[in-house]
Structure 1
Amino acid sequence: MILILASILFLTGYGALITYYWLSWKKIKPVTAGDSIAQTAISVIIPARNEATNIAALLEGLLTQDYPRHLLEIIVVDDHSDDDTAAIVRNNFPEVHLLSLQQDAINSYKKKAIETGIAQAKGRLIVCTDADCIVPPNWLRTIEHCYRQTNAAFIVAPVVFTTGKSLVQLFQQMDFMVLQGVTGASVTQGVHAMCNGANLAYERSVFYEVNGFAGIDNIASGDDMLLMHKIAQQYPHRIRYILSQDVIVSTAAMPDWKSFINQRIRWASKAKYYEDKKIFGVLLWVYITNCLFLLWPLLAIITGSMFYIAGGLLVWVSKTLLELPFYAAVARFFNKQHTVRYFFFFQPLHVLYTVIAGFMGAFGKYEWKGRKVK
């Protein structure tokens, strides 16, 4: 009886939360640059560690942007790469400023790399992406248009995973689209906001106004969300989300389950540092709900009872029905409608990884870019 009541309570709250995200996503107004003429100097900051296979494609995409060259500065900060990342930039892209990260034995190399790049940047608007990303031709022009039209201090934009045919990559793509939908909905509503460091922008002056990464520089992850929360405390009404296919940045999904779990643990690890207790409360509610979802099939396996088997199936179907309208709406934006057919079947896997990654993010360690991180 306790399990039934707890499941009903948490499932009801979870359903209300997902419905809120869905309705909020539907209200987001699309952004288009149209014939807008760019006026803002932009510095694109790219931290790079062992990205020899990816960095050239990104830089070629940046150098062919529909953006005035005299207003564009591209800075790559090499983070102790032991491959040809720096050599590729130096020998093939003379227009790009190449910096080398000097600091060693720190817990957040990426933050230090971004900070190093910003210290040398001349642009009014800092745009961040990752070295393994691909950017569309109107990416910067659309971001700049949003910046001027809304007076944004911090801009969040969409990211999508490209995939092969493997199960793990398809699952990642679908899971990540849900996170992107939550990102767009929450940023637009100004509550428990999310973002991704592969596609965001902020005023250089605002970065220094909030003392950059000071206070969060000892945390391995969080160069995106933790910085956004610092800026949101100062400028709560100047955080914007861009809903436009012209700004969708794409990046490859993790190649295997181990790297995928490591990535999600890294993302989950910053949750305990959120100062906004509403964010932590929502994350905790979602986590407990998923633990309850997992408890039903575990009890079914242990006891063999039809009661728990039937309850597990009911929970599985209920979760799918609650999430499906939201997922379908986000999938349409990313032109991934074909993935809807797999949504029901991936539910148990989603619950299992959420519980594992959430626990390990709070109490465990992970490996990223060849480094062991706490």
Structure 2
Amino acid sequence: MWITVPFILLFILYALLLFFYRKSWQQMPEVEVEERYSPQTSISVIIAARNEEKNIANCLFSVLEQHFDPQLFEVIVVDDHSEDHTAEIVNRLCTIYSNLSCINLKAQENIIAYKKKAITTGINKAKGKLIVTTDADCIVPENWLKNIAAFYENKKLVFIAAPVVIAPGKGLVKLFQSLDFLSLQGITGASVFAQFHTMCNGANLAYEKKVFEEVNGFDGVDTIASGDDMLLMHKVFLKYPDKVQYLKSKAAIVQTAPANNWAEFFNQRIRWASKAGKYDDKRIFWVLLLVYLFNLSFLIIFITAFFVGEFWMYLISLLLLKTLYELFFMIPVAKFFNKETQLWWFPLMQPLHILYTITAGLLGSITTYTWKGRKVK
């Protein structure tokens, strides 16, 4: 039937996109740093924190106990008006670690992008040549900074996107997040390696301080609440397209805490989706539009099937093909992150993933969300 032609075309484009991502991911070499390698780059780790009393200590212990010369790195925590004991915990640790400091973000009116303000405040105080960011609910591996610094020095880069994975957890919502995050990381690595579009995660980023200043930091995107990672990345990419890369190293994988429930998860994803229309890198906009329309087609076919019975066959066939092609892409990514066993659950997550993609994409463009106790439009 002619009415199925748009759905078939969407599937073909989607399948080609997945093939491209898989090929790029596999072509990207995995980075390994020799144990005797001794980086010389000075680093400032910036952590913006708000109401993170449950996570901040473990995060800081993992960062401060790096296998990296403590004379070469500092850790700056910028407390974003926490209403709990976050600042107190950090200040206590400051008495133990001489390379740790805490800055309290000053109260200002008409701020929308609080995290961008916190990061900028930290960078202004930073002494290091290379800025490295992570989040207060993350745990970093012991050779994290060594691998980032070595990659930076050997490749002469100005911006590095690095791998992030959801920390292990029990329950459907955490398993779903882990699988979803794996796909996002695979796309991130593949797209950055191929220079197809910019993509990254602020839980594991590195960039030169002087380059941050050259592109005027977050100026021009400081009216957008989120996007401290990808919006900055694109500004840097426009100036240094050949000096932006993805660090594919198992020794640099950062673990980030999952959302505890479905409400938190959807709120987070709505926040992420809210910046889709704000990307200056329109290449990723068209990719997101393709993915959204392809998932939306399943809902359209599902509704149509109640009136045209043969559409049930189209629905089942398309769902099966979608699952197979996505698994084809996901298998090498899951292997890198040591998450292969989770792929057994992947087919069962398909209906939920389709609904989540449609819902989060729609709500991200029309509704508000709550972030760290603040309501954002």
Q: TM-score range by the shorter chain?
A: over 0.9
Shift of 1:209: 0.1
The residue that corresponds to 1:317 in the other structure is 320
The residue that corresponds to 1:58 in the other structure is 59
94-103 vs 250-259, which deviates more?
A: 94-103
Which of 189, 192, 195 pairs up with 1:190?
195
Matches within 5 A, 1:74-89: 74-89=75-90
User: Secondary structure of 1:346's partner?
Assistant: helix
Distance 1:259 1:93 in 2: 31
Q: Does 1:269 align with 2:274?
A: yes
Distance 1:223 1:346 in 2: 30
The residue that corresponds to 1:154 in the other structure is 159
Q: Does 1:70 align with 2:74?
A: no
Shift of 1:130: 0.1
The two structures, once aligned, show a CA RMSD in angstroms of 1.1
User: Secondary structure of 2:245's partner?
Assistant: strand
Give the counterpart letter for 1:314 in structure 2.
S
Q: Deviations over 1:38-87 (max 9, x none)?
A: 10000000000000010101111111101111111100000000100000
Give the counterpart letter for 1:110 in structure 2.
K
The residue that corresponds to 1:350 in the other structure is 353
Matches within 5 A, 1:212-251: 212-251=217-256
Gaps of 5+ in 1: none
Give the counterpart letter for 2:366 in structure 1.
F
The residue that corresponds to 2:11 in the other structure is 11
Q: Does 1:44 align with 2:49?
A: no
Q: Does 1:139 align with 2:144?
A: yes
Shift of 1:267: 0.9
Distance 1:211 1:46 in 2: 20
Shift of 1:309: 1.8
The residue that corresponds to 2:338 in the other structure is 335
Q: 1:342 to 1:3 in 2, by over 3 A?
A: farther
Which of 182, 198, 201 pairs up with 1:177?
182
Shift of 1:2: 4.5
Shift of 1:358: 0.9
Distance 1:327 1:201 in 2: 26
Shift of 1:285: 1.3
State TM-score, norm by structure 2: 0.97
The residue that corresponds to 1:363 in the other structure is 366
Give the counterpart letter for 2:72 in structure 1.
L
The residue that corresponds to 1:21 in the other structure is 21
The residue that corresponds to 1:98 in the other structure is 102
Q: 1:13 to 1:7 in 2, by over 3 A?
A: same
Distance 2:271 2:159 in 1: 23
User: Secondary structure of 1:201's partner?
Assistant: strand
2:94–2:102 Cα contact (<8 Å) kept: no
User: Secondary structure of 2:82's partner?
Assistant: coil
2:21–2:191 Cα contact (<8 Å) kept: yes
Q: Deviations over 1:117-148 (max 9, x none)?
A: 00000000000000000000000000000000
User: Secondary structure of 2:348's partner?
Assistant: coil
Give the counterpart letter for 2:78 in structure 1.
V
Gaps of 5+ in 2: none
Q: Deviations over 1:7-53 (max 9, x none)?
A: 10000000000000001000111112212111000000000000001
Shift of 1:322: 1.1
Shift of 1:299: 2.8
Shift of 1:164: 2.1
User: Secondary structure of 1:127's partner?
Assistant: strand
Q: Deviations over 1:198-243 (max 9, x none)?
A: 0000000000000000000010110000000000000001001111
State TM-score, norm by structure 1: 0.97
Give the counterpart letter for 2:39 in structure 1.
A
The residue that corresponds to 2:31 in the other structure is 31
- In the alignment of these two chains, the number of paired residues is 372
Give the counterpart letter for 1:85 in structure 2.
T
Distance 2:139 2:284 in 1: 30
Q: 1:266 to 1:124 in 2, by over 3 A?
A: same
Give the counterpart letter for 2:105 in structure 1.
L
Shift of 1:294: 2.0
Shift of 1:306: 3.1
Shift of 1:361: 1.5
Q: Deviations over 1:79-135 (max 9, x none)?
A: 000100000011133331100111344111000000000000000000000000000
The residue that corresponds to 2:118 in the other structure is 113
Distance 1:163 1:265 in 2: 23
Q: Deviations over 1:277-325 (max 9, x none)?
A: 222112111111111022222333x43x431222211111010111111
